């Protein structure tokens, strides 16, 4: 039997742990009718926390309610691709184009008259709004709407963002059945807001979007999901061992799939043993660095990384004053970065003000790669936003 776990970016897991409330809220936003706040949303959270999967699940909900769902990534040409997809969806609903061709005829003395139909160039940006209107006017869309999901929002081109904002705002104002959910890491969302502060239309649009911040999930729910997955496959996974595996995930979604996959995979018989679990956990710990931590660290500034490396010297939560001392700065300098790192989802600031890592194995990964990441300690100060 195939391994049910899916430890790769964007793959839908066998069981989605701990996101029931977010999905219920989204379903309610669809049911609440045009203009419901949750219909314009940003899904954000650290790398590997499950943003792409959340877009897929939201799409499934909308689809089940009879909506048309279009999933896109924010790379160049977004508006053009959306226009084409909406047009294709409209064709599927049975509403075809009015004749969109224009006849040309011209005479060439010796050959007589040649005439040909030329198709009009498609996908002029302002077509998108018209196309969406025509799709939603289709009789079979009477009860449904259109959900557009846009992943990797940091790659969006400013002009395309402006167009998307204008189109969405018009459609919302017209009480159209439309929902737009965008996803990206918190730094990208912050950056979008900062970059567009001087563009009233875009910044109002971005600020109106509901923020859906994804974090880690409850370890008890992770253990339950392991047990459920085993039951579904008729395999024995003793509760004690499932709990230990769950603890090793730290409730971190990518790690759930890694531990699940490598534990499951190591078995030969019908029962998952402690030995399988220990091996699975060890492999998962090795893999998460390259799959999640390396790309997450790449998103950060040198000072952010230096602070994380300084934190990794501690075996538990770090005090700001110790970090400041280690990097040769004062505590107010550290506190600016502390806020940034907390928003990125990589660390938590505990009630007593100490800093703790949020993702499993990040400390160990940083210790191993300290030489590579701690480069800014003696460099010039960065200006924090």
16 touches which of ligand ATP, Mg ion, none (CB within 5 to 8 A by kind)? ligand ATP
Greatest CA separation for the chain: 91
| Token pair in block for residue 319 | 């005090």
Q: How far is CA 2 from the centre of its chain?
A: 26
Q: How far is the CB of 41 from ligand ATP (least distance, A)?
A: 15
Q: How far is the CB of 57 from ligand ATP (least distance, A)?
A: 9
- Assess contact for 320 and 310: CB atoms under 8 A: no
Using CB under 5 A as the binding rule, the residues of this chain from 24 to 53 that contact Mg ion are 51-52
19 binds ligand ATP (CB under 6 A): yes
Nearer to Mg ion, 51 or 363 (CB): 51
- Assess contact for 32 and 201: CB atoms under 8 A: no
CB under 8 Å to 199, separation ≥6 — which residues? Answer: 162
State which of residues 38, 50, 250, 345 lies at the interface with ligand ATP (CB under 6 A): 50
83 binds Mg ion (CB under 5 A): no
185 touches which of Mg ion, ligand ATP, none (CB within 5 to 8 A by kind)? ligand ATP
Q: How far apart are CA 47 and CA 290, in angstroms?
A: 12
User: To which residue do tokens 């203009």 refer?
Assistant: 35
Query: Mask of contacts with ligand ATP, 182-211, x by CB under 6 A?
Result: ---x--------------------------
User: To which residue do tokens 């799959």 refer?
Assistant: 291
Instruction: Reduce the DSSP state of residue 27 to 3 states and report it.
Output: helix
DSSP labels for 277-310? HHHHHHHHHHHHIIIIIHHHHHTS-HHHHHHHHH
The alpha carbons of the chain give a radius of gyration, in whole angstroms, of: 25
Nearer to Mg ion, 74 or 309 (CB): 74
State which of residues 49, 189, 212, 362 lies at the interface with ligand ATP (CB under 6 A): 49
Nearer to ligand ATP, 20 or 379 (CB): 20
* Spatial CA neighbour of 48 closest among 295, 245, 283, 357: 295
Interacting stretch for ligand ATP, rule CB under 6 A, among 5-13, 74-82, 105-113, 170-178? 5-13
In angstroms, how far is the first alpha carbon of the chain from the final one?
A: 51
User: To which residue do tokens 């078995």 refer?
Assistant: 267
Beta strands 355-357; 347-349: pairing state: antiparallel
7 touches which of ligand ATP, Mg ion, none (CB within 5 to 8 A by kind)? ligand ATP
18 binds ligand ATP (CB under 6 A): yes
Using CB under 6 A as the binding rule, the residues of this chain from 211 to 230 that contact ligand ATP are 217
Q: How far is the CB of 361 from ligand ATP (least distance, A)?
A: 15
11 binds ligand ATP (CB under 6 A): yes
The residues binding ligand ATP (CB under 6 A) are 6-11, 13, 16-19, 45, 47-53, 185, 217, 253-254, 256-257
């Amino acid at each position: 039997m195939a391994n049910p776990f899916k430890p790769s970016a964007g793959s839908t897991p066998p069981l989605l742990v701990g996101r029931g409330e977010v999905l219920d809220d989204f379903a309610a936003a669809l049911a609440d009718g045009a203009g419901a706040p949750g219909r314009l949303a940003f899904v954000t959270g650290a790398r590997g926390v499950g943003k792409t999967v959340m877009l897929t699940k939201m799409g499934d909900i909308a689809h089940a309610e009879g909506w048309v769902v279009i999933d896109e990534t924010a790379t160049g040409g977004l508006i053009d691709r959306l226009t084409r997809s909406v047009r294709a969806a409209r064709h599927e609903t049975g509403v075809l184009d009015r004749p969109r061709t224009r006849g040309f005829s011209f005479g060439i003395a010796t050959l007589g008259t040649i005439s040909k139909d030329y198709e009009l160039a498609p996908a002029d940006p302002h077509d998108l709004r018209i196309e969406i209107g025509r799709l939603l006017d289709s009789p079979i869309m009477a009860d449904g709407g259109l959900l557009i999901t846009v992943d990797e929002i940091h790659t969006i081109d400013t002009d395309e963002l402006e167009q998307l904002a204008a189109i969405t705002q018009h459609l919302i104002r017209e009480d159209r059945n439309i929902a737009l959910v965008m996803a990206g890491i918190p730094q990208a969302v912050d950056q979008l807001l900062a970059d567009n502060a001087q563009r009233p239309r875009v910044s109002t649009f971005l600020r109106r979007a509901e923020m859906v911040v994804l974090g880690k999930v409850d370890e008890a729910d992770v253990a339950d999901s392991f047990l459920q997955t085993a039951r579904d496959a008729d395999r024995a996974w003793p509760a004690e061992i499932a709990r230990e595996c769950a603890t090793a995930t730290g409730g971190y979604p990518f790690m759930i799939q890694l531990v699940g996959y490598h534990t499951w995979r190591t078995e030969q018989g019908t029962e998952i043993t402690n030995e399988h679990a220990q091996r699975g956990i060890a492999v998962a710990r090795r893999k998460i660095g390259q799959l999640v931590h390396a790309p997450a660290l790449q998103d950060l500034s040198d000072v952010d990384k230096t602070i994380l490396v300084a934190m990794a010297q501690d075996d538990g939560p770090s005090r700001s004053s110790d970090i400041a001392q280690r990097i040769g700065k004062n505590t107010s300098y550290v506190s600016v970065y502390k806020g940034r790192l907390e928003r990125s989802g990589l660390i938590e600031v505990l009630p007593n003000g100490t800093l703790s890592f949020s993702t499993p194995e990040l400390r160990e990964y940083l210790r191993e790669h300290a030489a590579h990441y701690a480069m800014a300690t003696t460099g010039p100060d960065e200006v924090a936003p």
